[in-house]
Amino acid sequence: QSQELSQVQIDYHAALQALVEDGTRMVCTGKMHTDRICRFDSLCYSTEAEEFVYFHSNSSVMLPNLGSRRFQPALLDLSSVEDHNTQYFNFVELPAAALKFMPKPVFVPDVALIANRFNPDNLMHVFHDDLLPIYYTMQQFSDLDLEARLFFMEGWSEGVHFDLYKLLSNKQPLLREQLKTLGRLLCFTKSYVGLSKITTWYQYGFVQPQGPKANILVSGNEIRQFTKFMMQKLNVSLEESSSEEYIVVFSRTINRLILNEAELILALAQEFQMKTITVSLEEHSFSDIVRLISNASMLVSMHGAQLVMSLFLPRGATVVELFPYAINPEHYTPYKTLATLPGMDLQYIAWQNTDREDTITYPDRPWDQGGIAHLDKTEQERIIKSTEVPRHLCCRNPEWLFRAYQDTKVNIPSLIHVIRQTVKSKPGLKKQKWSGSLYPGKVRDAKCQASVQGTSEAKLAVSWQIPWNLKYLKVREVKYEVWIQEQGENTYMPYILSHQNHTFSENIKPFTIYLVWIRCIFNKNLLGPFADVLLCST
Ligand code: UDP
């Protein structure tokens, strides 16, 4: 069954002639393979060799032209997971003249985005590694619009969440296996290869134990622009908050269970005087889950991929993540990091089962479901006695898997106590004021005037104007920070001031040159840039 590529007819002979004469053209962004995305004209793919092909001719371009550094270790990462050696992209080079001896190329007329999905069966990976990065890579390049076509090259089948990938463009995404049905040599007229990593917030522990990425560059605003897009595509409308407030318990039905779910739901309903409902990936459609979560005041769930759905919570809502026995919540924070991104405006609470009596272990299951029967007896005993899984690398640590796949009887009073430490009255004050944070510009027209009194005393009068953007803003508190540094010294005197001028006399010496640095601060923590340094001679 051949996949229909496009209704757009292309002039085959013209396309072939252009390929032979012009060859492949590549221009990339990014300095390293880990931050590179490349745009190609006439990139080809041999479905027999399962390799991309770059054709050299008189007009071909290759930027960066790395020589053999292209293989050290690769030109770029095909997935958004950084520097993973199963996700590298490269191409094989041929002279365009070789086309004479090759299978007739089949041209792909759509603008293509070529990438790898990292783990399309796990919902956290689907959103974090694929959907958000694809969405924002498409935002970066204007010809990657809704008419672009996605090509997934990782080699997996569609997977259970394929419908979500389909929302990102109007054209059916194609998988590596399907390319064979299209032809032996495919040539992408225009394509982009690689994914932006700018929205990712978590590293999974391939080289160091898992944790938040070192330099997070995404805020709640961009997350919510993405979820707004997804909700439109899913036909889920944002209901107004006039409707009743409620709590959602997101349950797992296969493993890592909450054993007393009914009791938990009753307790939450009673404590917070709110309707409390359960959802699960097995029993609800994805749109229903999004609809329910996007209006919830609180989301309660076991640690696990389903918690990535807190992406869809409204501002002001609370996320409660439950951890099985011996799993330290501080060591597994993908959902905490998400909930606490600046501007997500969610409250995050972790609860851990600390009572051995309340956990059910499964030592006899297969290793990938947390079984440990395949290990040495002494190692099994050590794991069973241990009270905390030590930090570890991804992904097959048996002690981690053993503990991660326990079922838990949630100690209700202990859970309610932990939630109550953060949620004082009713959860999910939805009518939160937009706490958007805008930063001050530079202060303007800074001036200084020195006066000397005798041989040992001097004064420095410094004044400046408000930052230009302040006159258009309502800011609760405006302060100025001034640093006074004697030229040639590497220390300075810092001052926080409320007015636009000040006369400094402490520690000011006559016949000395001072450097004066001034910046504006909004609401205590929004630090603006320093204005150009002011040189003041007493
Ligand atoms: N999953 C589920 N119900 C279950 C167990 C798992 O829907 O009872 C889903 C889970 O949300 C994830 C996928 O199956 O999308 C893989 O789950 P796994 O336990 O391997 O990963 P984790 O949730 O720990 O990331």
Q: How far is the CA of 258 from the centre of ligand 1 (A)?
A: 14
Strand (E) or helix (H) holding 53: strand 51-56
In this predicted structure, the answer to whether residue 239 has a pLDDT above a threshold of 90 is no
In this predicted structure, the answer to whether residue 132 has a pLDDT above a threshold of 90 is yes
Q: Could you tell me which of 397, 392, 354, 391 has the C-alpha nearest to residue 379?
A: 397
**pLDDT, tens digit (0-9, with 9 covering 90-100), for 16-25:** 999 999 999 9
Please give the average per-residue pLDDT across 406-410, as a whole number.
98
**pLDDT, tens digit (0-9, with 9 covering 90-100), for 262-313:** 999 999 999 999 999 999 999 999 999 999 999 999 999 999 999 999 999 9
The answer, yes or no, to whether ipTM is higher than 0.85 is yes
Residue 455: what pLDDT? 86
The confidence band for 1, taking pLDDT boundaries of 50, 70 and 90, is very low
Ligand 1 pocket check: which of 306, 365, 395, 408 to mutate, most ligand atoms within 8 Å of Cβ?
A: 306
The confidence band for 467, taking pLDDT boundaries of 50, 70 and 90, is very high
The confidence band for 243, taking pLDDT boundaries of 50, 70 and 90, is confident
Ligand 1 pocket check: which of 130, 257, 281 to mutate, most ligand atoms within 8 Å of Cβ?
A: 281
Q: Could you tell me which of 358, 398, 368 has the C-alpha nearest to residue 380?
A: 398
Please give the average per-residue pLDDT across 380-392, as a whole number.
98
373 C-beta closer than 6 A to ligand 1: no
Contacts 24+ apart (CB under 8 A), 463-468: 463/500, 463/501, 463/502, 464/500, 464/501, 464/518, 464/531, 465/500, 466/500, 466/520, 467/440, 467/441, 467/442, 467/443, 467/520, 467/528, 468/441, 468/444
Task: Count other Cβ atoms within 10 Å, centred on residue 69.
Answer: 11
The confidence band for 142, taking pLDDT boundaries of 50, 70 and 90, is very high
Q: Which amino acid is at 296?
A: A
**pLDDT, tens digit (0-9, with 9 covering 90-100), for 77-116:** 999 999 999 999 999 999 999 999 999 999 999 999 999 9
Q: Could you tell me which of 263, 132, 134, 255 has the C-alpha nearest to residue 192?
A: 134
Residue 2: what pLDDT? 47
Q: What average pLDDT does the structure give for the chain? A: 95
Q: Residue of the nearest CA to atom 7 in ligand 1?
A: 281
Q: How far apart (Å, rounded) are the C-alpha atoms in residues 344 and 227?
A: 12
Strand (E) or helix (H) holding 448: strand 444-453
Q: How far apart (Å, rounded) are the C-alpha atoms in residues 457 and 454?
A: 6
Q: How far apart (Å, rounded) are the C-alpha atoms in residues 412 and 424?
A: 17
Buried/exposed code over 4-17 (b: 16+ C-beta within 10 A; e: otherwise): ebeeeeeeeeebee
- Per DSSP, 326 falls in state T
Q: How far apart (Å, rounded) are the C-alpha atoms in residues 258 and 254?
A: 11
Which residues, 6 or more positions from 387, have their beta carbon under 8 angstroms from its beta carbon? 326
In this predicted structure, the answer to whether residue 461 has a pLDDT above a threshold of 80 is yes
Strand (E) or helix (H) holding 384: helix 377-385
